[in-house]
Amino acid sequence: MKRFETSSIGRRGGLSAFAAAVLAVAASLAPNGSHAQETVKFGVSLPITGDMAEFGSFIRNGIELAIDQANAKGGLDGKMVELVIEDSRGDPREAVLVAERFVANDEILLEIGDFTSSASMAAAPVYEAAGMAQISPTASHPDFSGLGDNMVRVMAIQKAESQYLARWAVQDMGKQKIATIYTNDDWGVQASASFADEVKALGADVLTEEGITPGEKDFAAVVTKIKNMGPDAVFIAGHSAETGAILAQSRRARLQTQFLNSGAPRSPELLELAGSAAEGIAGVALYFPENPDPVSKAFTDAYVAKYEKTPNLFAALGYDAGLLALQGASAAGGKRSAVAPAIFQLSDFVGVTGGFDYTASRDPVKTYNRTVVRDGEWVMSE
Amino acid sequence: MPQIVKNALENSPLILFLAALVAAPFVISNQYVLQIMIFIGIYVILAQSLNLLNGYIGLIAIGHAGFYGIGAYTSAMLTVDMGAPFEVAFLAAGLVAGAFGWALGRPTLRLEGIYLALATLGFNIIVWLVLLNWNGFTGGPLGIKDIPRPSVFGWEVDTRIENYFFVLAVVAVVVFTMARLVNSRFGRALVAIREDQLAAAAMGVNVTRYKVQAFVISAFYAGIAGACYAHSVRYISPDSFTMLESFILLAILALGGSGNMIGPIVGAAILIAIPELFRAVSEYRMLLYGLVLIIVMQVRPQGLFGGHHYDLRLRLFDRRQRKAYRGDVFLPPEAM
């Protein structure tokens, strides 16, 4: 009984202390007043920690490169551009909080991010309500750009790439019996479906469409099933890890056919994982480091000079997102709600991953470079 | 001193705390902070729900995000695909999750300890895989977009502040009903089972029936939390209902302390706020998150509020029952 009374007093104090703590925390989170604007701030929401940190760091490097170059040339109409980078871990819930944080901060003009479609789409209503441009370098969900008037897509939509690959396989390579394997995420589903539709439209057969769970390692069942169907081409919509494993396991199962890939463009990791099994695989690339195109080459050289490593597609998309943000911000004259409309007025945006006319559509379609693996290296295909 | 004044004084911390929560959105104009508090509210519901199992009846359930996901998808699909009214969808979220709780609980609740833990973990993975792969039904990895905002009997919950009050109201109802539940005969039976299953059975407590009932109730509340999330964020995808979410809930109970009403609330507030408070150190913030957990586990292995029975001071509502548990079953475990 005594014991209970003691704890009763302690409890009362504990509860008040907790209430006080909650208010203190809330107060410390509130914005600490705005000071004079000599800078323009861009919010960046990306996975900096967690499973997707690797992708996030490439995109972040690309964005920082674009902004640094602009600042070196005198900034945005005389003002220096500053990035406010926040970690979302690619988690929809955290992306919403980051969005609220940016929107609540009057100094932030626009936002670049997030990496995954689900994080971008969960945060989209927040940006839309605030009239802040949300420029996602990588969101591939077909509905992302239609969620509101402020959602800007940088990556070419997957549909165009899948259709391009399907035409390459059926019309140029003459393949007639094609199977697909795709990672079961929003991107993979689209990639496979668009590919299969185009193959059917061209009069060839789709033997099967096999989904694999992201992060899975053993694909023996899928490979065996496809082998028994006797395809003359297999389309893999998967990133380096899955595609590499599928190629290596196909070699072991003696499945010999023409492989095509989307999702691991010119990936060196794929070559490491699959070894000689990668020989002959075909894919298209929006960006590749050896591209002699002047815009692309200037980016590659600047990136290598700054970070001392070779950029990839994600870095290039980050850079393009940075360029797009700068052009939008410049035309918007510091007004949040004017950024996205300004971007949709750009008829001749030129980026590392190709040019695009945003007045025609909000879903970029870009030109592709054909690549294949020959003697253990990605080379341009004729 | 008149009894009513005495009661009011005794309950003053709780009343003050509630008043602070109601006043908060008028003091804090920052939408970001409000959104954090909304998420804390949702996790308070989830933690209370899991607390009924892990804290009160002593079942080790580690797949609670499964019920959370079922609730979110039920409510989202009913409103988006079938145009059901929000009130119906919201309730259905709880009922459907509860039904799954029954379907899972019936065959598995005869299992003990680690075997039950594995069964619930497996359930979480199955739910996630179904949400991810059944493209035609759940939208698969594309998720569900344009989920309507809550609208409760004519109250259109359009703004963030209204959303805050909506979630606060749901949390209040959940916490209140949960407090009443665990203070009832039912709650004492759960604790009796936790302390000694055989003794409870010998006293005439139908162990399996109580376990299944607790499981269904817990799943119901988790489903309600799912509906709150779906209609607050307005876009859901399977990403939000992975095992990681289940582990966050376990961490909340471990940190706050289970088996009482205050622990889950404090745990949810701390664990949801911490990653946001540590934003200044960007790359290292999840490291600090882990560090806080480790320190608490070192200093207070039973959790911040673990080991005692904190009851939210609901004396005002039922003095007789309170007296009953003060005397016997609800002594802290180490006193037994």
Q: Which residue of B has its CA nearest to A29?
A: B33
**What is the pLDDT averaged over residues B271-289?**
85
pLDDT score recorded for residue A119: 92
Domain for residue B248, yes or no?
yes
Selected residues 206-235 of chain B with any CB under 8 Å from a CB in chain A: 233-235
pLDDT score recorded for residue B123: 94
Domain for residue B124, yes or no?
yes
pLDDT above 90: residue A84: yes
pLDDT score recorded for residue B229: 95
B30/A31 CB distance under 8 A: yes
Helices marked H in A39-135: 53-72, 92-104, 117-130
Domain for residue B173, yes or no?
yes
Q: Give B88 or A34, the one with higher predicted confidence.
A: B88
Which residue in B141, B236, B273 is closest to A25 by CB distance?
A: B273
Do residues A195 and A210 make contact, with C-beta atoms less than 8 angstroms apart? Answer: no
- Strand order from edge to edge, sheet including A108-113: A80-87, A39-46, A108-113, A134-136, A151-153
Select the highest-mean-pLDDT range: A30-34, A127-131, A239-243.
A127-131
Q: Could you tell me if B145 lies within 8 Å of chain A, comparing CB atoms?
A: yes
Selected residues 296-325 of chain B with any CB under 8 Å from a CB in chain A: 305, 308, 310, 313
Domain for residue B131, yes or no?
yes
Mean pLDDT of chain B: 85
Q: Could you tell me if A22 lies within 8 Å of chain B, comparing CB atoms?
A: yes
Do residues B56 and B259 make contact, with C-beta atoms less than 8 angstroms apart? Answer: yes
- Name the helix (H) or strand (E) containing B113: helix B113-133
Select the highest-mean-pLDDT range: A5-19, A283-297, B86-100, B152-166.
B86-100
Q: Which parts of chain B are beta strand (E)?
A: 151-152, 155-156
**What is the pLDDT averaged over residues B253-276?**
90
Phi-psi region of A74 (alpha: psi -120 to 50; beta: other; left: phi over 0): left
**What is the pLDDT averaged over residues A69-91?**
89
Buried b (16+ CB within 10 A) or exposed e, A357-379: ebeeebbbbbebbbbbbeeeebe
Which residue in B16, B135, B233 is closest to A122 by CB distance?
A: B233
Q: What is the pLDDT of residues A11-46, one digit of tens each?
A: 444 445 555 555 555 444 444 444 444 789 999 999
**What is the pLDDT averaged over residues A209-217?**
85
Which residue in B33, B236, B313 is closest to A26 by CB distance?
A: B33
Q: Give A2 or A84, the one with higher predicted confidence.
A: A84
Q: Report the alpha-carbon distance of residue A18 to residue B268 in Å, rounded.
A: 13
| Residue indicated by tokens 């299969």 | A196
Counting residues of chain A whose pLDDT is more than 90, the rounded percentage is: 38
pLDDT score recorded for residue A19: 52
Q: Report the alpha-carbon distance of residue A189 to residue B252 in Å, rounded.
A: 35
Q: pLDDT tier at B174 (50, 70, 90 boundaries)?
A: very high
Counting residues of chain B whose pLDDT is more than 90, the rounded percentage is: 47
Beta bridge partners of A84: A43
The CATH number linked to B90 is 1.10.3470
Select the highest-mean-pLDDT range: A4-18, A51-65, A365-379, B103-117.
A51-65
Domain for residue B201, yes or no?
yes
Do residues B62 and B201 make contact, with C-beta atoms less than 8 angstroms apart? Answer: no
pLDDT above 60: residue B321: no
The domain in which residue B53 lies consists of: 3-322
Q: Could you tell me if A17 lies within 8 Å of chain B, comparing CB atoms?
A: no
Counting residues of chain A whose pLDDT is more than 70, the rounded percentage is: 90
B237/A118 CB distance under 8 A: yes
Counting residues of chain B whose pLDDT is more than 70, the rounded percentage is: 91
Beta bridge partners of A112: A44, A135
Q: Could you tell me if A212 lies within 8 Å of chain B, comparing CB atoms?
A: no
Q: pLDDT tier at B1 (50, 70, 90 boundaries)?
A: low
pLDDT above 50: residue B18: yes
Q: Report the alpha-carbon distance of residue A343 to residue A293 in Å, rounded.
A: 24
**Lowest-confidence region among A181-185, B299-303, B318-322:** B318-322
Do residues B120 and B104 make contact, with C-beta atoms less than 8 angstroms apart? Answer: yes
The CB density around residue A244, as the number of other CB atoms within 10 Å, is 24
pLDDT score recorded for residue A69: 92
pLDDT score recorded for residue B316: 38
CA distance B106 to chain A (A): 30
Q: What is the pLDDT of residues A182-211, one digit of tens each?
A: 988 878 888 899 999 999 999 999 999 999
**What is the pLDDT averaged over residues B178-207?**
90
Domain for residue B335, yes or no?
no
pLDDT score recorded for residue A16: 52
Beta bridge partners of A351: A354
Domain for residue B330, yes or no?
no
Which residue in A3, A90, A96 is closest to B35 by CB distance?
A: A96
Does the model's ipTM exceed the 0.85 cut?
A: no
Mean pLDDT of chain A: 84
pLDDT score recorded for residue B86: 93
Q: What is the pLDDT of residues B197-236, one digit of tens each?
A: 899 999 889 998 999 999 999 999 999 999 999 999 999 9
pLDDT score recorded for residue A223: 92
A100/B135 CB distance under 8 A: no
pLDDT score recorded for residue B336: 36
B33/A30 CB distance under 8 A: yes
Task: Evaluate the omega torsion of the peptide bond into residue A106 and state whether it is cis, within 30 degrees of 0.
Answer: no
Q: Could you tell me if A188 lies within 8 Å of chain B, comparing CB atoms?
A: yes
Q: How many domains does chain B have?
A: 1
Domain for residue B43, yes or no?
yes
Q: Which chain A residues are Cβ-neighbours of B14 within 8 angstroms? A: 15
Do residues B82 and B88 make contact, with C-beta atoms less than 8 angstroms apart? Answer: no
For residue A244, which of A224, A219, A225 has the smallest C-alpha distance? A219
**Lowest-confidence region among A26-40, A73-87, A268-282:** A26-40
pLDDT above 80: residue A266: no
Q: Report the alpha-carbon distance of residue A241 to residue A261 in Å, rounded.
A: 12
For residue B127, which of B17, B199, B222, B38 has the smallest C-alpha distance? B222
Q: Which chain B residues are Cβ-neighbours of A22 within 8 angstroms? A: 20, 269
pLDDT score recorded for residue B311: 59
Do residues B231 and B129 make contact, with C-beta atoms less than 8 angstroms apart? Answer: no
pLDDT score recorded for residue A325: 93
A143/B277 CB distance under 8 A: no
CA distance B30 to chain A (A): 6
Q: Which chain B residues are Cβ-neighbours of A15 within 8 angstroms? A: 13-14, 17, 262
pLDDT above 90: residue B65: yes
Instruction: State phi, psi for B291 to the nearest 5 degrees.
Output: -60, -45
Q: Which chain A residues are Cβ-neighbours of B24 within 8 angstroms? A: 23, 26
Q: pLDDT tier at A231 (50, 70, 90 boundaries)?
A: very high
pLDDT above 70: residue A349: yes
CA A126 centroid distance within chain: 20
Q: Could you tell me the domains of chain A? A: 39-156+294-356 (3.40.50.2300), 158-285 (3.40.50.2300)
To test the contact with chain A by mutation, choose from B235, B240, B289, B330 the residue with the greatest count of A C-beta atoms within 10 A, namely: B235
For residue A258, which of A238, A230, A286 has the smallest C-alpha distance? A230
A85/B282 CB distance under 8 A: yes
A92/B16 CB distance under 8 A: no
